Structure 1
Amino acid sequence: MLSAIVVNRMEPRYADRVAGLFADLDATDFPARMGTRRRELFAFDGVYLHIQDFPDSDGLAVIDEAWRDADPRFVKICADLTPIVPPYDDTCVAHEDHIAVRSYAWEQS
């Protein structure tokens, strides 16, 4: 399984709005189309964390495909989120610039 963690900024007052946007998206077939197994959103001191689990390591390729295909639901949620969940680092230009890099993993066998 792959966990992709998107790191951005978010003012606490937007937490419910962002959760609602994802609840609406997750009520469609879009998560299944992307292979999303689980999604969690966290906020901590102005930092926004969006954890998305995929069944295998091709999860990031699926995100890339959603960008290339320009699925209207993906385009819409990105447009809705952009003004209220800005990049953590203003130098980020591509969506993969917002994804945390794993530095350690352990799993019980």
Structure 2
Amino acid sequence: MDPDSAESVAGIFGESDAGELPATVGVTARSLFSYQGLYFHLIEAERPLAEGLAKARKSPLWTDINTKLDAFITPYDPQTWRGPADAMAHRFYSWRAV
């Protein structure tokens, strides 16, 4: 993601987050980060997202947000990109104060 696109990307998500899509997926919080041309998307949820994502991908709301984001965000590795699962980070350490 071009860092100059951050405001546009935030606006796209802000518009979407004001609607029904986050609840459909199960999203309770979202944070977007950029670092040296990379885009990071942290989603928090109370339940696993796989089921909600499968349902949401059939929605025109999902298609709309992804079409809008295509103008600003490109896959890290276009040769292997088939969908968001191909660019998801895997947590290898977590800690939380009790």
Q: CA RMSD in A?
A: 1.3
Letter aligned with residue 103 of structure 1? F
- Given that 2:24 and 2:55 are in contact with CA atoms closer than 8 Å, whether structure 1 keeps it comes out as no
**Is 2:72 aligned against 1:81?**
no
Deviation at 1:33, TM superposition (A): 1.9
Write out the 4+ residue segments of structure 1 that deviate beyond 6 Å after TM superposition. none
**Structure 1 unaligned spans of 5+:** 1-9
**Structure 2 unaligned spans of 5+:** none
Identity of aligned residues (%): 32
| Alignment match, 2:53 | 63
Give the aligned length: 97
Partner Cα separation in structure 2 for residue 30 and residue 52 of structure 1: 13
Q: Secondary structure at the match of 2:41?
A: strand
Partner Cα separation in structure 2 for residue 28 and residue 75 of structure 1: 14
Partner Cα separation in structure 1 for residue 88 and residue 54 of structure 2: 12
TM-score for the superposition, normalised by structure 1:
0.81
Which residues of 2 match residues 25-104 of structure 1 at below 5 A?
Answer: 25-56=16-47, 58-67=48-57, 70-90=58-78, 91-104=80-93
